[in-house]
């Protein structure tokens, strides 16, 4: 069959819009694919190639290390003589790294038995909260602190959780070295990124492909006789694509649902929920400033000077506050709720004068371990609230100046005054 018979050529222009949509598909996928927006830690995100380690293998003392390789490989099975074998010095070898990774992930047994470190200390990112320090967290700590010894930590566990979980776990110097090799790699590779399954993208592309096939069959191959079949596929496809386009462009620049990992696994559920600490205790300036204020390190220390250990995360996370204090470097939290620069939002206005509960905008914070942006913070969302929410009209003497509205209330024409009625819809309430 001829692909382009003269009679078919007149249908060609019809292909153009279809191709356009397919092209758009590429673009939109880029928007859809990332899934939940995750923090991309700037430092050390590039994945180092194994070449780095090969280079090390080719160092002058190659022979020594290779010899050591054979010894240690042999030791895999002969565990009793381990203490006697001198631990190698210098850069970690490939073999040490390989063994370190296997030990950590529980693929080969330790001298003291089979322990799967990675079952508690996750080696990659997950979208569920794990209270234990991740492998990367520990590796980073190890890289920063010269005196950090994995063996020491295991031999002298601190805190109830750690004691309970690491009972009977001992490792040999050689195993420590192998784990260190793995830690070094982790520090270089970084914590990794959370790969979400781009369901939306599959649907988008699947439909795109189907539509393309339908067009090709309709115009050229003509395998399926029933034309309605093609038309239905194309119509459904276009509707879904348009729906995606609208939804995605609306969400542009908005981060509803954003729930990044924070540098400290701070749980609002435990602090604000279980322990019922008032929001204002930490966010001290919400009542009289634009910003609610991220609590400074010394605010944390008010309690955590005494409370050194948590139920969920043991001492590891709380220790980060003390590390910040010691190093003089403040904790770099990841900002979740952001408004564009041309919008002026005052916490004092809403919290103090307006009496709006924190949860109205931030969601049920006291039920969240990790903070998630529950609202889209769009202008429409702001205005809806301004139109629906009453102000403290009768009790706050400031509003006495609105004489006509007071009249209306006295006459029973209205029973409440919304923010919009006292100018809450004016552009220059927020944009100046």
CB of 57 to other proteins, least distance (A): 37
The string over 95-116, giving b where at least 16 C-beta atoms fall within 10 Å of a residue's C-beta and e elsewhere, is bbbbbbbebbeeeeebeeeebe
Is the Cβ of residue 9 or residue 338 nearer to other proteins in the bound state? 338
Tokens of 330: 């403040």
> Three-class SS of residue 67?
helix
Is the Cβ of residue 223 or residue 332 nearer to other proteins in the bound state? 332
Sign of CA dihedral 246, 248, 254, 255: positive
Which residue is it, tokens 């919400």? 286
> Three-class SS of residue 48?
coil
CB of 328 to other proteins, least distance (A): 6
Helices (H), 121-256: 135-144, 150-155, 160-165, 173-189, 199-216, 227-250
Is the Cβ of residue 139 or residue 286 nearer to other proteins in the bound state? 286
Tokens of 360: 């109205």
Q: Do the beta carbons of residue 148 and residue 180 sit within 8 Å?
A: no
CB of 123 to other proteins, least distance (A): 22
Q: Do the beta carbons of residue 366 and residue 270 sit within 8 Å?
A: no
Is the Cβ of residue 210 or residue 251 nearer to other proteins in the bound state? 251
Which residues here bind other proteins, judged by CB under 8 A?
27-28, 30-31, 34, 37, 39-40, 252-253, 255, 258, 260, 285, 287-291, 293-299, 324-325, 328-335, 338, 340-342, 344, 346, 348-349, 352-353, 395-398, 400-402, 404-405, 422-423, 426-429, 431-432
CB of 316 to other proteins, least distance (A): 20
Is the Cβ of residue 280 or residue 346 nearer to other proteins in the bound state? 346
Is the Cβ of residue 195 or residue 335 nearer to other proteins in the bound state? 335
CB of 177 to other proteins, least distance (A): 35
- If 0-12 CB within 10 Å is exposed, 13-18 middle and 19+ buried, where does residue 274 land? exposed
Strand-pair partners of 314: 310
CB of 237 to other proteins, least distance (A): 20
CB of 305 to other proteins, least distance (A): 13
């Amino acid at each position: 069959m001829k692909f382009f018979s003269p009679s078919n050529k007149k249908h060609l222009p019809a292909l153009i819009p279809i191709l356009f949509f397919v092209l758009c598909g590429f673009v939109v996928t880029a928007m859809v694919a990332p899934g939940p927006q995750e923090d991309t830690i700037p430092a050390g995100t590039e994945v180092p190639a194994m070449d780095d380690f090969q280079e090390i293998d080719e160092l002058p003392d190659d022979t020594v290390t290779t010899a050591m390789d054979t010894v240690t490989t042999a030791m895999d099975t002969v565990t009793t003589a381990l203490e006697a074998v001198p631990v190698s010095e210098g850069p970690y070898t490939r073999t040490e790294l390989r063994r370190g990774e296997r030990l950590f992930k529980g693929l080969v047994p330790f001298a003291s038995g089979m322990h799967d470190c990675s079952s508690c200390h996750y080696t990659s990112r997950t979208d569920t909260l794990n209270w234990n320090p991740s492998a990367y967290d520990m590796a980073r700590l190890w890289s920063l602190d010269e005196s950090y010894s994995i063996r020491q930590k295991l031999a002298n566990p601190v805190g109830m959780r750690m004691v309970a979980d690491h009972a009977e776990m001992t490792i040999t110097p050689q195993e420590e070295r192998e784990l260190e090799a793995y830690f070094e790699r982790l520090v270089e590779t970084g914590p990794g990124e959370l790969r979400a399954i781009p369901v939306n993208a599959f649907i988008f592309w699947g439909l795109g492909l189907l539509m393309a096939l339908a067009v090709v069959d309709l115009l050229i191959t003509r395998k399926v006789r029933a034309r309605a079949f093609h038309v239905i596929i194309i119509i459904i496809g276009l509707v879904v694509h348009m729906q995606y386009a609208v939804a995605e462009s609306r969400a542009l620049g908005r981060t509803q649902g954003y729930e990044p990992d924070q540098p400290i696994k701070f749980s609002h559920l435990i602090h604000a929920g279980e322990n019922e600490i008032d929001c204002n205790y930490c966010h001290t300036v919400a009542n009289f400033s634009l910003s609610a204020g991220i609590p400074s390190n010394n605010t944390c220390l008010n309690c955590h000077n005494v409370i050194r250990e948590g139920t969920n995360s043991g001492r590891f996370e709380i220790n980060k506050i003390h590390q910040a204090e010691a190093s003089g470097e403040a904790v770099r939290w990841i900002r979740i709720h952001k408004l564009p620069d041309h919008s002026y939002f005052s916490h004092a206005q809403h919290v103090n004068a307006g009496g709006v509960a924190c949860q109205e905008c931030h969601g049920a914070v006291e039920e969240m371990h990790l903070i998630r942006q529950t609202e889209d913070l769009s202008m429409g969302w702001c205005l809806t609230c301004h139109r629906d929410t009453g102000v403290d009209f009768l009790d706050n003497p400031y509003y006495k100046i609105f004489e006509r509205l007071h009249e209306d209330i006295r006459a029973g024409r209205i029973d409440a005054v919304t923010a919009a009625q006292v100018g809450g819809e004016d552009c220059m309430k927020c944009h100046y």
